[in-house]
Amino acid sequence: MKNTCHNITGKVIACLLGFLIILQAGCTHNNDFNNHSVKERPRARVGRYASPSVGTVFVGAEDLGVHGYYSSWSEKIGIAYTCKAGHIDLAHVRKAADWTAYLAANILEQLKKNETRFSFKFKEPARYHVQLTYPDWWKDLPEDEKNRITRDISIGLGQYFTYVGCNWHEILTWFGYRSVALYPEFPSAFSWEDSFSDLLGTHLAAKALRDTEHEYDEAMTLALKRELDDLGIQPRDVAIRASNAVRGLWFSGDFLFLVDMKGRNFDIGLDDGLVTPWLVPSPSEGAGGLPECEGAQPQSYPAPSLDFLSEYGFSAKFELEPKELERHKILSIVYPDPKERRKRIEPAAHFPAIMANITKDAVEKHGFYIGPEHAVSPAVAQKHPQVRPSGTSAGKPAPAKSIIDDVNNDGVIDLRDLSIIMETWLAKYRPPAEDTR
């Protein structure tokens, strides 16, 4: 009997071990990126203005929390400041990272089935169409080599598609698109930190997906911390001071959609393949910059492209089919002749014309500050002083009258200041009580 029980127990243990092995293998197969659970669409995150406005949250290295693909309780979003990359919007970073991971996981499934055509969409109505061409020798490649290549390609495509989608969102909001009907998004279209923050997110996602030792959330948490440390992240109070240093030059105002974002960075990597972030001018440049970052140089990052596909013998045709109301204005830029107008846009071929139109509009119509890397004519510079010709110093930000003052003198405009001011206004302008006698 003892031997019989021993044999039965051994069989039960063996069955349980076998079940666990099968379960583990099944999980790995379903997720494909080392159990990174990124198959569901990413959740939304709310970005911030990189100005000390009502609602803006500033963060330092100790405030990052743990990345949460599905849950928000463990992570922090807000505006950080780094010596080598300037302001960074963590909501944009995390959102772009999660979309990169999500698309990579789903593209991988398409590649494993040898699909040549597929489409997808982001939050906006536009649909993206992909046509892949495989190399002739693909079917004869050993399975392990196929797996390695498909993983690399899916990550690269995830980065590129996400970055295009982020840029398309900025383009749309420039032409009047609103995610929420009553809330204008034009003030933040191509604000100086947005595109670089999106780009940074795609790079971090690629690192997290290649991390074979950690789940996606933990891998992203580690990658974000390391990257921000390398970029020289500053404490929260320095981030607030960095924003105040460019008041009047890069922005004015302090209340939600009443903030005037004068600084618009249109560098999305179309000229040299690199995206260069804006740094707050240092004291040596005549502006109220940051002594903590004196001498720092901006760290450029490569913008994702489809060029990497040729290394594996692949090619792709990638088109964007806009379905938003603003599509007519944008398509008229890409196809000036109405008779030749098509319904799709090829980002690699057509984004340069769209961005040139937006940049011209920013300078000539709005007088926005677009940075020293964009040369403007002396006439435009004279008409719009906040737009300086290429190569000139940043100058000292002009004083700006705030709609809301820093009542608490804590270096940031917040809801406490707003409540105090509202009480003051009500006390001053409240009509006298009616005499009911």
Read off the pLDDT of residues 249-259 as tens digits, 9 standing for 90 and up. 899 887 766 78
Return the closest-CA partner of residue 352 out of 371, 334, 366, 365.
334
The CB density around residue 432, as the number of other CB atoms within 10 Å, is: 5
> For the chain, which residues score pLDDT lower than 70?
1-37, 181-182, 256-257, 282-289, 372-437
User: What is the pLDDT at residue 373?
Assistant: 52
User: Contact, 188 vs 47, CB < 8 A?
Assistant: yes
First-last CA distance in the chain: 102
Beta bridge partners of 263: 369
- Return the structure tokens found at 379: 């006439």
- Return the structure tokens found at 380: 């435009």
What is the Cα–Cα distance from 288 to 246, expressed in whole angstroms? 8
Phi, psi of 147 (to 5 degrees): -60, -45
Read off the pLDDT of residues 300-341 as tens digits, 9 standing for 90 and up. 999 999 999 999 999 999 999 999 999 999 999 999 998 888
Please count the residues of the chain: 437
What is the Cα–Cα distance from 113 to 227, expressed in whole angstroms? 35
Q: pTM above the 0.85 mark?
A: no
How do strand 251-252 and strand 260-261 relate by DSSP bridges? antiparallel
User: What is the pLDDT at residue 153?
Assistant: 97
Looking at residue 247, its amino acid is R
What is the Cα–Cα distance from 250 to 192, expressed in whole angstroms? 8
User: Contact, 218 vs 69, CB < 8 A?
Assistant: no
Region at 357 (left for phi over 0; alpha for psi -120 to 50; beta for the rest): alpha
Looking at residue 250, its amino acid is W
User: What is the pLDDT at residue 206?
Assistant: 97
What is the Cα–Cα distance from 365 to 375, expressed in whole angstroms? 16
Grouping H, G, I as helix, E, B as strand and the rest as coil, residue 192 is coil
